[in-house]
Structure formats: structure tokens, C-alpha cells
Amino acid sequence: MAELPPIVDLRQSATALRVQRGVMRLLRETYDMACYAEVTLRSGRRADVLGVGPKGEIWIVEIKSSLIDFQVDKKWHEYREFSDRFFFAKPPELDAGIFPESEGLIVADGHDGAILRDSPDTPMAPARRKALMLKLARLGADRIHVLMDPGPK
């Protein structure tokens, strides 16, 4: 396996990491989004990928690496209140038919990704957007600090 990025927390499967890479490349290259991986939200849920677009739009992408991974997750709908658009992402080998038609869908591998089905636009509440943007600014700065100075806090 290739060397992992320094911020990977080792909770993800190899398949999920490949999908994550492809999703983040898609969002950065096609939609000019700044991407964060593994973002804990105020609800306690952890977004697999969160993208912030050039106009402040926020997308959350929930990665499902297998059928069982999708079947055991009953809380994915909670991401809607923390994003303007919500997508599932899957590897190419996983059947797209398992995902709800009402949600966006991305297929991705370790190289790139593509949107198979767009997500409805459901704008976030302004106060929640402001709080989340502040959290993301601090999270991004903290992650850079850890990469630049990996010693104790």
C-alpha cells in the first residue's frame, strides 16, 4: 500500500481511502472546492468529506465502501442540516442501486470521481453556516500546524 497522508486516522478501510481521494480530487478540480476529510460536526457525526466552494457553499460526502457499510448506517440523513448539498460516494464496484434516489451520488476511485446523480440544493441556516465556517477555518489551521510542527501541543 502507498504511504498514507499524515492526517489519516486509520479508521477508514483501504477502499474508503481510495474513494476519499477520488472525491476530493473531483471536488477540487471540477468545482474549485477546498476539501476537508473526517470533520466532526456539532451533532457528533463525522463527515467523511466536506467541501467548501468559492461562494461559501458546503457539500458533505458520505463514503460507503460496501453494501454492509451502507446498511448499518441509519444516521446519514443528519448530515443534511450541516450542508447545502449531500452526496453518497461509492467505489466503482458497488451497485449504485442501493442508494436512495433522493440523494446525490458520486462514483470515485483513487484517481478521480464523477457525479452520477446531483444532489438537491437545500441551503443551510445562516447561523449554522457561520458556526461551521469558523470551525473549518480553525480545523484547517490546526491541521497545517500539526504537519509543520508534529511535536506535542
pLDDT of the residue at 129: 93
Sign of CA dihedral 75, 11, 21, 140: positive
If one counts every other C-beta atom within 10 angstroms of the C-beta of residue 80, the result is 16
For residues 5 and 21, is the Cβ–Cβ distance under 8 A? no
Over the stretch 66-82, which tens digit does the pLDDT of each residue have? 999 999 988 898 999 99
pLDDT tens-digit series, residues 17-49: 999 999 999 999 999 999 999 999 988 889 999
**In the prediction, which pLDDT does 106 show?**
98
Q: Is the pTM of this model over 0.85?
A: yes
Is 90 exceeded by the pLDDT of residue 122? Answer: yes
Among 1-5, 19-23, 111-115, the range scoring the smallest mean pLDDT is: 1-5
